[in-house]
Amino acid sequence: MPHLRFGKGFRVTVGNKRAQAAEMVIAPGECEGGPDNRHRGADQWLFVVAGRGLAVVNGKRHVLRAGSLVLIEKGDTHEIRNTGRTLLKTLNLYVPPAYRSDGEELPRGRK
């Protein structure tokens, strides 16, 4: 069973053919994604473990703090920003998998 470490950046933690989990850590003032970032074949559930931030999903803003849960459906454009003073740590679940174990995006969310 893998353990969450929340080191640096993005890391796929565990998965199977149906779903996967990944850790993401964003430094203060930094962001991941942008107006053209989308997962064409997977829904993403983003759970905030620690920190503060902002999720922009299809142009709509959602304030993030520890305990926040955001559903980013397949095809939704999205960006995650750290608006706080500490690291923004998130656990992300993808259904079906969206990334290879090395962090590279899968075509249409398949292994």
* pTM across the whole model: 0.91
Instruction: Share the mean pLDDT of the chain.
Output: 93
Share of the chain above pLDDT 70, in %: 96
The pLDDT of residue 83 = 98
The pLDDT of residue 109 = 47
Total number of domains constituting the chain:
1
Position 95 in a domain: yes
Position 22 in a domain: yes
CA–CA distance from 79 to each of 14, 56, 59 (Å)?
Answer: 23, 5, 9
Is the predicted pLDDT of residue 64 greater than 70, yes or no?
A: yes
**Which CATH number fits the domain that encloses residue 88?**
2.60.120.10
| Domain span holding position 82 | 11-100
Share of the chain above pLDDT 90, in %: 78
Give the best-scoring range by mean pLDDT among 37-41, 88-92, 101-105.
88-92
Position 92 in a domain: yes
At 22, list the tokens: 């990944």
The pLDDT of residue 11 = 93
For 14-63, how does the pLDDT look when each residue is reduced to its tens digit (9 = 90+)? 999 999 999 999 999 999 998 889 988 999 999 999 999 999 999 999 99
